[in-house]
Every structure is written in structure tokens, then in C-alpha cells.
Amino acid sequence: MLSALVGVLIAPKEYIHPNMMVNMQLYGFTAGVLADFRIYLVQFLVDWFWEY
């Protein structure tokens, strides 16, 4: 509670509008896709090295 109050007092005064959230949604979606791709890539490499 105290940290939220300090953050509000110290933070610069900027207005937030809904269009700003589009970038965050795109970053989140991209991070999710890349993380999922990384899991499959690591599993593929482990399986491939395990064979040889």
C-alpha cells in the first residue's frame, strides 16, 4: 500500500489511454509465441542429440 502511494507521488504525470495497451498486448503475444517456440526448439534439439 505504501509503495503504491510512493509510486503515484514520484511517477511523472502522464495520461494513459486505451491505445497504449495495444503495444503491451502485442509484446505479450509475441513473448508467448517465442517462448512456446523455444520450448519446441529445445525439445527438438534434445531429441536430435539424444539419437546421435
Q: Rounded to 5 degrees, what are φ and ψ at 48?
A: -70, -45
Determine the pLDDT at residue 6. 72
Over the stretch 16-26, which tens digit does the pLDDT of each residue have?
Answer: 667 777 878 88
Segments making up each domain of the chain, as ranges: 17-52
**Below-50 pLDDT ranges, the chain:** none
Alpha helix stretches (DSSP H) within 1-52: 2-10, 20-51
Determine the pLDDT at residue 13. 67
